[in-house]
Amino acid sequence: MRAPRLLLVLPLVFAASCSDLSGLADDASSGAPAGSGTQVSDEFSDTAPFTVTVDPADLTAAIEALEVAAERDGGYDRSLFPHWKDDDGNGCDARDDVLVKQDRTGALSEADCDAAMTGEWVSMYDGETVTASGDIDIDHFVPLKEAWGSGAVDWTTEDRQVYANWQENNWHLIAVTASSNRSKSDQDPAEWMPEDEAVWCAYVWAWVEVKTEWRLSVDEAEKTALLDYTASAC
């Protein structure tokens, strides 16, 4: 098992109203900074495709560090985030890549892409175990519309495609039941939380991590909810 690692190096560095793809991190950081108690890895937990041990003080500080701004939803269209692309050129689109990567049987491979898959996926949002890929949605942990209103409105289409297909960790794109994903839709934690309260702390951590990695803002209600869930669930 790999040694747990703390938050990934920021994958994008934004300047003014556009991003610089040369700022994509080549390597994840290894080990936690001095004084940090939060550890995370891509190893599966019982209910999620990642494992995180959260230090509430660390998470609170990360929430407080996020920019607070009103969402700018005008002009959003899902097509502005070209998604389910084969950006790594392995013959599988991003959806199929995630299905293979987050399958708990370990029996799936790139050869299984472009067809219905049989495996085992545990949906973090409702705790359900699913064996048929057709019953799985791949969720953008921070939904595309939420990302748009929180800063991606200023990105290029190319950068939005990077966001929509990002697979360098197991909490950016996540395999969950179709019903739970559609219940969540594009809502933030002020409006929706998973049915399984046992994952609330990990859910808040992952939400804040994505917002931090991609330099996305939070609105006032969202920040309040994140702080409240951290205090009560972590």
Dihedral over Cα of 195, 102, 58, 14: its sign = negative
Each of the 234 residues of the chain gets a pLDDT tens digit; together they read 223 333 333 333 333 333 443 343 333 232 333 334 689 998 999 999 999 999 999 999 999 999 999 999 999 999 999 999 988 888 899 999 999 999 999 999 999 998 999 999 999 999 999 999 999 999 999 999 999 999 999 999 999 999 999 999 999 999 999 999 999 999 999 999 999 999 999 999 999 999 999 999 999 999 999 999 999 999
Contact 234, 56 (CB under 8 A): yes
Q: Look at residue 114 in the predicted model and tell me its pLDDT.
A: 85
Of 180, 150, 144, 184, give the one whose Cα is nearest residue 163: 144
**In this structure, what token pair is assigned to residue 88?**
């790594």
Q: Rounded to an integer, what distance in angstroms lies between the CA atom of residue 229 and that of residue 6?
A: 21
- Rounded Cα distance between 201 and 53, Å, is 9
Give the phi and the psi of residue 164 in degrees, each rounded to 5.
-70, -20
Burial category of 98 from C-beta neighbours within 10 Å (exposed 0-12, middle 13-18, buried 19 and up): buried
DSSP-assigned letters across all residues of the chain = -PPPB-SPPPS-EEETTEEEGGGS-SS---SPPTT---EEESS--SSSSSEEE--HHHHHHHHHHS-B-----TT--GGGS--S--TT-SS--HHHHHHHHH-SSS---GGGTTS--EEEEE-TTT--EEEEGGGEEEEESS-HHHHHHTTGGGS-HHHHHHHHT--SSSSSEEEEEHHHHHHHTT--TTT---S-GGGHHHHHHHHHHHHHHTT--B-HHHHHHHHHHHHHH-
Per-residue confidence (pLDDT) for residue 35, from 0 to 100: 37
Report domain extents, the chain: 13-233
Q: d(Cα 170, Cα 117) in Å, to the nearest integer?
A: 19
pLDDT score recorded for residue 16: 33
**Contact 19/157 with Cβ under 8 angstroms?**
no
Residues in CB range of 110: below 8 A, 6 or more apart: 90, 91, 92, 100
Note the pLDDT of residue 12: 38
